[in-house]
Structure 1
Amino acid sequence: MNYRQMIALFLPLLIDQAFIVGLNLVNTAMISSAGMAAVSAVNMIDSLNIFLINVFVAVSTGGTVVVAQYKGSRNELMVSRATAGTVSSVSLMSLCIGLLMIVFYNPVLSLLFGSASADVMTNARTYLIGSCTSFLGIGIVEAVCGALRGIGKTRASLFLSLIMNLSYVALNIVFINWADMGVFGMTIAVNISRYAAAVCALVYLIRVDVDLQYRLKDLLYFNWKMLKKILFIGLPFAAEQMFFNGGKILTQIFIVSLGTYAIATNAICSSLAGVFQIPANALSLTIVTVVGQCIGSRNIADARKFTKSFLWLSSASFIVMGLLLLPFFKPLVGLFHPPAEIVDDIFLVILVNTIAQIPLWSISFITPSALRAAGDSKFTSITSMLSMWLFRVVLGYILGIVLDYGILGVWLAMDIEWGIRGAVFLWRSRGNKWEQHRLID
């Protein structure tokens, strides 16, 4: 694989990430018109949604790795079977998770966010149930996009992502701004957009991309041998995401205890931070395909070379994004209509986090993506789980609550944890154990 091919992979993913983050920014801004209670509720449930959705997204990432390695070895028949295995396994998992949360929504909300105010909890209940009914739709989309990224068809995955996200924003305009339905309108929009995209994803696999030889009955068929390969990567990553995002939810509980303004500050900071991370996130997705195909063709030297290049590019992207966006902080934060009392807090958190991201984010996220693409999933997952709970959660409580630094303390703990985790991943990548895994025959 050469740099021209990688740019062709990267650009659609960059556009995809820009749309996802930008449209989420717009959605958060729109729901802010319903008040800070609505913003707080959506942010709280989104932290839970990320926890749940990332479980089956992790399995689709396992599919991306397996598909990419078979593509690198030029085994087209196994590429087709890996695609079918990814879609069927992720669809079943997303359906089960969604149904489970709908059944147990009340005790989950009481356990996690019981200290929130009554109006926040009412909105949270509506948004949680509505979000969970859409899980099967987004599960199918993520599985198909994961398989398409594995074979390098990032333009097709971009197309599906745009269908889902653009329709979501358009429907939010209708249900939130025009019909004034608030959080309930948001849940209607997310279901229509995700299931419409899921239908388009299946039509693409069955009717458009005939090379993959996917049939609708493959959705109900499980190739256990292939499923084991996918889950070998996907399950450790899913466990990592559960523990990792579980730590985030626990941190969210700290923030809930600080009050509605603190929840809103964290929500706005998270949305703005996502804008700064757009190019880096696209690089993190691209490197899975690049390293996966390098490993599939047994080209270890290129896998190492490209990983180093991606690390430098990712860090440089944070410098560029910081210089471009920080001068426009006031109009950006104005999209959320925040109370004047929290604007200075938002700026301080964003400034500190922007500086910290330059040296720390890339080693903490790009490196494990490369290791995972090579099949080194257990080590990366265990490291991420331990660092989250030993450092981010504990430090977040100490700095944010005990030492009374509030939201800034919670975010500082996150930045420190990035550095610790990234140092471990760098040490691993410089050794030879990660390249000795044999995922495919």
Structure 2
Amino acid sequence: MRSIIGATMKSNILANPFRLKQEGIFTDKMIASLLIPILIEEIMIAVITIADTAMVASVGETAVAGISLVATVNNLIKQMLVALATGCGVVIAQYIGKKDLTEAGNAMKTGLYSILFLSFSVSLVSFIFKRSFLSAMFGHVEEDVFKNALLYFSLSLVSYPFLAIYHVGAASFRAMGNSRIPMFCSFMMMGMDLLIKAILIYGFKIGVAGAGISTITATAFVSGIMLLFMTSYKNTVRIKDIIKINVDFPMIKRILGIGIPNSIEKGFFQFGLLILQRLTASFGTAALAANAIAKSLTPISYTLGATFSLGIINIVGQCMGAKKTEQAVMYTKHMLKINYILGFIVNACCIIFAPAILKGYNLSEEAYKLSYIVFSMYCTGSMIIYPLSTVLPFALRGAGDTKFTMMVSTISMFGARIGLAYVFARGMGMGLIGVWLSMVTEWIAKGIVFLLRFNGGKWKEIKVV
């Protein structure tokens, strides 16, 4: 008897925490094949973004200023397109779980045309009112900066419909459990963009126009490749008769019912970041430099969270479509556990090696200390609460609980993060540290609410398909 107990205890101690205790719709191998390409893609995006920023910085101060202004708008549009595409992905995942591949294909096609129409409409309206829009967004800026911003914005608008195609395709393939195709297309798009940008900026010396043209060329080419993949007979789910447009209003309602709340949430979040950016700008040069450097290091930490978020939404979606809510709970807990283990290791390393990394930047003593403090706060918060505040709501979204996540995220952004940022930073005189402390406090508030919602189980009653 003693030997049996001892053997059992030993097996529990030596049990691999990364393996499922029991397998359901998804096996360990299937989860790994979904997550690993997403992780590679996220790391690749972080690295190429740094190279892209360095390249754009060489075109001159006014050009960089104009591009950076438009980049905030582009990021907002991109996040909203991703959110709408996520709605399409959730519906596809649930139909796959339901084993209705015909309707899953219909959802892919309907989502593609719906989001393509919305992105084209945004591009057209924005192009017509581009001057008024930029003036309203950024107020009075230097004439040369505004001209560069106007040129880059005009070119960026052309790429929005192509980005819509890519993001719908990426969300659709992840819903099928195939994250290799989005990774391949993402790598191709960023690689092409970087290569063409180098040729046009360094070779042809056309500056801002080169930056815009490279983006259009890369997104257009890759959107065409993505369409070929989406119509391929090799896929579990594919688009049939892509030229034939069928208006399926119930399907549009399902997709937008998830996509629009998600998109509104992303929009408010980006707007909230702009408010905080203005607050941070009032703390002086050292604080601005420290904030910029600390933010540039955060992808090392949040890449894991982004990976598990994109994975968990599709796994839960398939479980809900199959009416296996107990498996949705099991997979969510399992992936959160892995996220916590890996997150602890990565963030602990970030804190340990941050001083050495920061010494590579030409910072003043004040900026160096500030950047280390706020980055360490970020990493500590990521270890303790980030998975619950950011990854767990993606499980709820996979079940279709997007209105609740939108409400909580919006209230916490404006009530906790922005409100407390002013209290901590201005009222208590904490400056930049107060802004980052308000972010971690918001994570704690969101994490508690989302955990209560998850344990309450009301999300299990939501019917999407």
Is TM (by shorter chain) over 0.5? Answer: yes
Of the candidates 387, 403, 411, which is equivalent to residue 412 of structure 2?
387
The SS at the match of 2:385 is: helix
Q: Which residue of 2 aligns with 1:50?
A: 75
Work out whether 1:105 is the aligned partner of 2:130.
yes
Q: Is the 8 A contact 1:37 1:119 kept in 2?
A: yes
The SS at the match of 1:277 is: helix
- What pairs up with 1:73-112 in 2 under 5 angstroms? 73-112=98-137
- What pairs up with 1:360-379 in 2 under 5 angstroms? 360-379=385-404
The SS at the match of 2:456 is: coil
Q: Is the 8 A contact 1:113 1:253 kept in 2?
A: no
Q: CA deviation at 1:334?
A: 8.2
CA gap of 1:152–1:408, structure 2 versus 1, over 3 A, is same
Q: Which moved more, 1:299-308 or 1:123-132?
A: 123-132
Hey, what's the Cα distance between the residues in 1 that align with 2:153 and 2:426?
A: 27
Q: CA deviation at 1:240?
A: 1.2
Instruction: Normalising by structure 2, report the TM-score.
Output: 0.85
Q: CA deviation at 1:178?
A: 4.6
Hey, what's the Cα distance between the residues in 2 that align with 1:266 and 1:183?
A: 26
Work out whether 1:5 is the aligned partner of 2:30.
yes
Q: CA deviation at 1:5?
A: 1.0
Q: CA deviation at 1:267?
A: 4.2
Hey, what's the Cα distance between the residues in 2 that align with 1:120 and 1:255?
A: 22
Of the candidates 319, 327, 337, which is equivalent to residue 302 of structure 1?
327
Q: Deviations over 1:131-176 (max 9, x none)?
A: 2321111111001111111111111121111111221222233334
Q: Which residue of 2 aligns with 1:252?
A: 277
Of the candidates 84, 97, 113, which is equivalent to residue 72 of structure 1?
97
The SS at the match of 1:134 is: helix
Of the candidates 453, 457, 460, which is equivalent to residue 428 of structure 1?
453
Q: Which moved more, 1:354-363 or 1:174-183?
A: 174-183
Q: Deviations over 1:285-304 (max 9, x none)?
A: 00011111111111111111
Q: CA deviation at 1:120?
A: 5.4
Q: Which moved more, 1:175-184 or 1:279-288?
A: 175-184
Q: Which residue of 2 aligns with 1:159?
A: 184
Q: Which residue of 1 aligns with 2:318?
A: 293
Larger gyration radius, structure 1 or structure 2: 2
Work out whether 1:62 is the aligned partner of 2:87.
yes
Work out whether 1:19 is the aligned partner of 2:44.
yes
Q: Which residue of 2 aligns with 1:397?
A: 422
- What pairs up with 1:4-403 in 2 under 5 angstroms? 4-34=29-59, 42-114=67-139, 121=146, 123-207=148-232, 209=234, 211-215=236-240, 217-218=242-243, 220-257=245-282, 265-326=290-351, 329=354, 342-401=367-426, 403=428
Q: Deviations over 1:215-239 (max 9, x none)?
A: 4645844321211111111111112
Q: CA deviation at 1:403?
A: 4.8
Question: 5+ unaligned residues in a row in structure 2: which ranges?
Answer: 1-25
CA gap of 1:269–1:215, structure 2 versus 1, over 3 A, is farther
The SS at the match of 2:94 is: helix
CA gap of 1:274–1:88, structure 2 versus 1, over 3 A, is same
Hey, what's the Cα distance between the residues in 2 that align with 1:309 and 1:225?
A: 34
Q: Which residue of 2 aligns with 1:439?
A: 464
Q: CA deviation at 1:371?
A: 0.5
Which amino acid in the other structure matches residue 155 of structure 1?
Answer: R
Q: Which residue of 1 aligns with 2:3?
A: none
CA gap of 1:434–1:163, structure 2 versus 1, over 3 A, is same
Q: Say how many residue pairs are matched.
A: 440
Q: Is the 8 A contact 1:41 1:124 kept in 2?
A: yes
Hey, what's the Cα distance between the residues in 2 that align with 1:263 and 1:129?
A: 29
Hey, what's the Cα distance between the residues in 1 that align with 2:209 and 2:66?
A: 12
Instruction: Normalising by structure 1, report the TM-score.
Output: 0.89
Q: Percent identity?
A: 28
CA gap of 1:384–1:52, structure 2 versus 1, over 3 A, is same
Hey, what's the Cα distance between the residues in 2 that align with 1:285 and 1:417?
A: 22
Which amino acid in the other structure matches residue 97 of structure 1?
Answer: V
Hey, what's the Cα distance between the residues in 1 that align with 2:65 and 2:298?
A: 17
CA gap of 1:204–1:369, structure 2 versus 1, over 3 A, is same
Q: Is the 8 A contact 1:244 1:388 kept in 2?
A: yes
Hey, what's the Cα distance between the residues in 1 that align with 2:274 and 2:463?
A: 35
Q: Which moved more, 1:110-119 or 1:278-287?
A: 110-119
Hey, what's the Cα distance between the residues in 1 that align with 2:383 and 2:188?
A: 32
CA gap of 1:339–1:80, structure 2 versus 1, over 3 A, is farther
Q: Deviations over 1:311-359 (max 9, x none)?
A: 2222333322234445654786688877887444433332221112111
Q: CA deviation at 1:275?
A: 2.5
Q: Is the 8 A contact 2:231 2:242 kept in 1?
A: no
Q: Which moved more, 1:376-385 or 1:389-398?
A: 389-398
The SS at the match of 2:99 is: coil
Hey, what's the Cα distance between the residues in 2 that align with 1:122 and 1:410?
A: 33
Hey, what's the Cα distance between the residues in 2 that align with 1:57 and 1:304?
A: 25
Q: Is the 8 A contact 1:86 1:147 kept in 2?
A: no
Q: Which moved more, 1:304-313 or 1:423-432?
A: 304-313
CA gap of 1:329–1:187, structure 2 versus 1, over 3 A, is farther
Q: CA deviation at 1:412?
A: 2.2
Question: 5+ unaligned residues in a row in structure 1: which ranges?
Answer: none
